[in-house]
Amino acid sequence: MITRRDLFKVAGVGAVALAVAPGALRTSFGAPKKISLEDALKEHLGVGMSALKESNLIQVKAPTIAESGANVPVQVKANIPVDQVQALYIFADSNFNPWVTTVEFSPMNGEVFFATRIKLAKTSPVRAVIKMKDGSLLAASKEVKVTVGGCG
Partner 1 sequence: MSRLGRAIVRVPRKISKGQTFKVQMVITHPMETGLRKDKKTGKVIPAHYITKVEFLFNGKKVTTLHTGAGISKNPYFAIMMKATESGTLTINYEDNKGGKWSKEVKVNVA
Total Cβ atoms within 10 A of residue 24: 10
**Shortest CB 70 distance to partner 1, Å:** 6
Give dist(CA 84, CA 91) in Å, integer.
21
Closer residue to partner 1, CB minimum distance, 4 or 33:
33
Size of the site for partner 1 (CB under 8 A): 32
Q: Is 35 in the site for partner 1 (CB under 8 A)?
A: no
> Please, which of residues 85-144 interact with partner 1 by CB under 8 A?
92, 95-106, 108-111, 113-119
SS3 breakdown of the chain: % helix, strand, coil, rounded to 5?
Answer: 30, 40, 35
Give dist(CA 112, CA 133) in Å, integer.
14
Interface ranges with partner 1 (CB under 8 A): 32, 70-72, 75, 92, 95-106, 108-111, 113-119, 150-152
